[in-house]
Amino acid sequence: MLSALIQKFDQLGNELLLAVRHGDESEINRVDAQLQPLTRQIFDFEARDHSEIMAQIAFFNRLAMKNCEDDSSVRRYTTMMSTLFVRYLESAGSSKPVAPKQNIPPLLEGYDPALHELILDSLQERVAVFDLDYRYIYCNQRNAEFHNKRPSDFIGRHLLDMIDRHRFQTRAKPRIDQCFGGARLSYTYEAADAHGRMFEINCRMTPLTGPGNAIAGAVLILDMQPMFARMA
């Protein structure tokens, strides 16, 4: 079912490109009117196994990368992708319960990214997901704010672009590698945000599994507690 929806989307995408090349406004409007509800249908699809989860997330990741020059599109698709991560985190081993779907406000006609941003902004934790090359495939708003950046700034970027090499080699990489090996980890460290404010951070790592239960990356959930400056 999901694969058929994605194939239909790709077919319509090809039809849209052809209509744009021919300058056929009526055809462009016709195809575009089908693409928006189809995108919503793919988003609302409840994946039945890891293969469908990865295909669903990869679909929106592909759209974000395809529209990388359009900030609003990147924000829209990464928000949809991140909401899917939140939806499936519980099945991936998160200890944090995910709100039941019936508590999420229904989507308006077409697509309103503000609804999904509202869901993500309600998370107190920083969330990041890496592929096996240590590159971001998802970053939520709170994690981006910690670095004084936008979520779209992280997509496809290497972790080394965000932290220094020493921290990467001595702290992050060894633990992420364990997670890639199937381990679930939890550890605490201290770090400053982009504004120099110190936090005590508890990082929980969970493997992200793909088709056939193969590990495709790592999910990081970071709880932060501010550290007050010590009296001199």
Region 102-129: what's the mean pLDDT?
51
Model confidence at 100, in pLDDT bands (50, 70, 90)?
A: very low
> Comparing 27-31, 53-57, 163-167, 200-204, which segment has the lowest mean pLDDT?
53-57
How much of the chain, in percent, has pLDDT values that exceed 90?
29
How far apart are the C-alpha atoms of 162 and 212, rounded to whole Å?
31
With CA atoms as reference, report the closest residue to 9 among 42, 48, 53.
Answer: 42
More confident residue, 61 or 105: 61
* Tens-place pLDDT, residues 15-40: 998 999 989 999 999 998 999 899 99
**3-state class (DSSP) for residue 113:** helix
* Tens-place pLDDT, residues 71-97: 677 767 767 776 777 676 544 444 443
Tell whether the model's pLDDT for residue 125 goes beyond 70.
Answer: yes
Tell whether the model's pLDDT for residue 187 goes beyond 50.
Answer: yes
**Long-range contacts of range 105-108, CB-CB < 8 Å, 24 or more positions apart?**
107/40, 107/44
> Comparing 74-83, 127-136, 172-181, 187-196, which segment has the lowest mean pLDDT?
74-83
Kindly indicate whether the domain formed by 46-226 is annotated with CATH number 2.30.30.240: no
Question: Looking at residue 178, what is its pLDDT?
Answer: 95
Name the residue ranges covered by the structural domains of the chain.
46-226
Stated pTM of the model: 0.54
Residue linked to tokens 């990368």: 65
How much of the chain, in percent, has pLDDT values that exceed 70?
77
Which ranges of the chain would DSSP assign to H, the alpha helix? 2-22, 25-44, 50-66, 71-89, 113-121, 141-146, 165-167, 173-180
